[in-house]
Amino acid sequence: MKKHIMELLMGCFLLVCFYYLSREAAVVTVEMNQKKVIVVDCGHGGSDPGMIGIDGLKEKDFNLAIGLKVKESLEKRDFQVVMTRDTDTGLYEEASNNKKAQDMQKRILLIQEVKPVLTVSIHQNSYEDSRVKGPQVFYYRDSPQGEKLAKILQEKLNEYLQVERPREAKGNTTYYLLRRSPGVLNIVECGFLTNPEEATMLSHEEYQQKVAEAVADGVVQYMNGMK
């Protein structure tokens, strides 16, 4: 009888030990999983093609292809990435009578929910003069942190893409996403789909990868400056 009680007590003791050890392990796992979260927003999608470039190129397709590469590059650098979309769809509901407005509102809602350290919104540019080209990064004019990130991203893009006549990051107060984003957000216009040379380069996966690496390395540099 005494032996059974001892065994029972030992069993209970081991169970308690196991409980505390597994709890410790769970805490450690949670801490290790606390990666910095970044939202990657691929502009347009679904019924909204965005800008139309030479030969009918649709901006939405470039935004998605490059955005997915940015996600991959950031994950390699140990960030957690949340995409606003990862397929050719908008964020609107089919029944909505103002799809564009709903799409934009939902992007902002997602950023509000996720609370990322920053958001990068991927777009392509267009202009009536087909000679105009080059990447350009936009930030909310009244956001010093947004400006800081934009200057770094612009510098990286100019460097990695070997831009002949580099542009400067530009402040803006009218773009909906820049105005409404609750945290730091930059709009990255990767290039002009109306410039034949740049449109061709942007179509190549290698060039898209360079854009992604520039953005991801820029984010790393910005985050290092935050420490």
Least distance between Zn ion and beta carbon 62 (Å): 9
Positions in 47-76 near Zn ion (CB under 5 A) = 50
Distance of alpha carbon 225 from alpha carbon 213, whole angstroms: 18
Least distance between Zn ion and beta carbon 30 (Å): 38
90 binds Zn ion (CB under 5 A): no
Helix and strand numbers (H, E) in the chain are: 7, 6
Least distance between Zn ion and beta carbon 146 (Å): 18
Stretch that binds Zn ion, among 10-18, 69-77, 80-88, 120-128 (CB under 5 A): 120-128
134 binds Zn ion (CB under 5 A): no
Least distance between Zn ion and beta carbon 178 (Å): 13
Nearest residue (CB) to Zn ion, 43 versus 67: 43
Nearest residue (CB) to Zn ion, 103 versus 217: 103
Annotate each residue in 11-50 with x if it binds Zn ion (CB under 5 A) or - if it does not, as one string: --------------------------------x------x
Nearest residue (CB) to Zn ion, 48 versus 75: 48
DSSP-derived secondary structure letter, 87: S
Nearest residue (CB) to Zn ion, 50 versus 218: 50
Stretch that binds Zn ion, among 25-33, 78-86, 121-129, 147-155 (CB under 5 A): 121-129
123 binds Zn ion (CB under 5 A): yes
Contact 126, 44 (CB under 8 A): no
Least distance between Zn ion and beta carbon 174 (Å): 14
Q: Please give the single-letter amino acid code of residue 164.
A: E
Number of residues that bind Zn ion (CB under 5 A): 3
User: Nearest residue to Zn ion, using CB?
Assistant: 123
Q: Are strands 118-125 and 80-83 parallel, antiparallel or unpaired?
A: unpaired
Q: Which residues of this protein are in contact with Zn ion, per CB under 5 A?
A: 43, 50, 123
